[in-house]
Structure 1
């Protein structure tokens, strides 16, 4: 029976170790994290689909990924370049990266290698796995469950779940925020004020962040929306 979610399962491949369904991802870009100092958000996009996944990474890994995206060759090889060169020298090929688990805000990944005779899988940080995959051309996959749990589907989030209009929605101070008015940028110093936003204001803020591709901050706003809807704040 058609459950209406077939588009989520486009570009799937079967796991070598079983029947695990996989969704292929591509690197979309990197943005600076507004929540965690010195961190960046790696944006992974579903190939042929609407989902985008933000992954918080460190500055070193962000630099390695950004250099490859821009086609910049450093004067001396970086760690990921050295790792790739070693693999080539010994005839070892990276066949895929698989983001197989998401737990407590952490993405878990594994690298699958082959020398033509043996195939082995090695655990890896997702940031390192992506940086190496970009240098080898290896595909990146995740599961449909992780995609829908951690990703943003732009088409769905553009709808107003409450069905109310901006003219009908006043905040606690009697102010009305126009639908096309861009919310003030959300920074760590403004975070406490988010708790006082109405659901309508939070949803408009969320959509604005998604439009600007500030996905990590959008994830924080989405969490506040869920807590408000559950009556926890």
Structure 2
């Protein structure tokens, strides 16, 4: 939550990097049940060929969603039972509460409108090279320059 980058990947960061390396994206999490004080959640992952839904601890699901900007859904009954209203302090910004616009990381949202890529600094050199190639092929030179800068830092250039 505090965007602290640790010297070595935490478990959730490792999981996100692993999924990314194999072309799997976290599409969403769904908190579907609250019973006896325990939330139950599902993670929906997808690649180009299939979609897989896995059961998960809600704390793990939220940690992964926060690292990938994946949307988090639940039911009205769960919100009615467990939710609370937060008091707004000061004026809200124009984009408060809006969906992620995909301007982080590679700067492009996928077909769902969400960016599910980990931060560029978390990419391996090989992943950065592949990403750079794709961005150049797509003539997205502004984002390619950003990837190139990270790649140079990783290589120590």
2-side partners of 1:87 and 1:131: how far apart? 14
Runs of 5+ in structure 1 lacking a partner? 1-68, 156-233
TM-score normalised by structure 2 residue count: 0.53
Considering only CA atoms, is the larger Rg found in Structure 1 or Structure 2?
Answer: 1
Does residue 1:141 correspond to 2:39, yes or no?
no
Which of 81, 102, 113 is matched with 2:13 structurally?
81
2:42 matched residue in structure 1: 110
Runs of 5+ in structure 2 lacking a partner? 88-157
2:93 matched residue in structure 1: none
Question: How big is the shift at 1:149?
Answer: 1.0
1:120 matched residue in structure 2: 52
Q: CA offsets, 1:88-115, max 9 Å, x none?
A: 0000000001000000000000100001
2-side partners of 1:132 and 1:149: how far apart? 24
Question: How big is the shift at 1:152?
Answer: 2.1
Does residue 1:93 correspond to 2:93, yes or no?
no
Q: CA offsets, 1:115-152, max 9 Å, x none?
A: 12211100000000000111111001100110001112
2-side partners of 1:138 and 1:154: how far apart? 22
1:152 matched residue in structure 2: 84
- The structure with the greater share of residues assigned to strand is 1
Count of residues paired in the alignment = 87
2-side partners of 1:145 and 1:98: how far apart? 13
1:129 matched residue in structure 2: 61
